[in-house]
Amino acid sequence: MPATPLSDHLADVLVSTVAAPLAEIDQEAGHEARRRLRARARTLARELTGEDRSVAQSTAERIMTVAWRGRHASWNWWETELGQVIARALEGSTYGRAEVTRSEAASMLGISVSRIDQLTRAGRLEKLGTGVVRASILRLVVDERRQMYRKAKGL
């Protein structure tokens, strides 16, 4: 199957997070990993955009686990085609977690922890415990921010 802009972006993300560090240790292994990841990205892109929602969600969770290793992608990354496809695939999923810390939520939304506290006090985010908010509600905030961004850009 030929590469697409989506599979190319996915390959770039995977290569930079997996193959590039490997190449620093073993150039030949890094080169082989690059080649394999670029080929695998085509299949992963098809899985992300396919009809089977459970396959798309599982693929998105695996990509996020490998590519971000517990960190959260920047707000700008979620605006890319790949970020949008993964966000749709992950809808209803919280990467296996029902809650995230305030700092994780802030990172996911590209805002400060104090802003997370403000959103919690305003009832926009649900606080589950000390320093923890419900992850599923973050999607609503992400959607709202996307609408504000598009309105500001005249899109």
Expressed as residue numbers, the domain containing 145 is: 96-155
Highest mean pLDDT pick, 16-20, 130-134, 142-146? 16-20
State the SS3 of the chain.
Answer: CCCCHHHHHHHHHHHHHHHHHHHHHCHHHHHHHHHHHHHHHHHHHHHHHCCCHHHHHHHHHHHHHHHHCCCCCCHHHHCCHHHHHHHHHHCCCCCCCCEEEHHHHHHHHCCCHHHHHHHHHCCCCCEEECCEEECCCHHHHHHHHHHHHHHHHCC
Give yes or no for residue 126 having a pLDDT over 90.
no
State the SS3 of 101-127.
Answer: EHHHHHHHHCCCHHHHHHHHHCCCCCE
Q: Global pTM?
A: 0.62
Clarify whether residues 77 and 136 are in a common domain. no
Clarify whether residues 52 and 3 are in a common domain. yes
* pLDDT cut 90: percent of the chain above it: 26
CA 71/CA 65 separation, integer angstroms: 9
Which of 37-46, 71-80, 104-113 is the least confident region?
Answer: 71-80
Clarify whether residues 88 and 101 are in a common domain. no
Give yes or no for residue 104 having a pLDDT over 80.
no
What single letter denotes the amino acid at residue 11? A
- Residue 33 vs residue 152, higher pLDDT: 33
Domain boundary among 93, 119, 139: 93
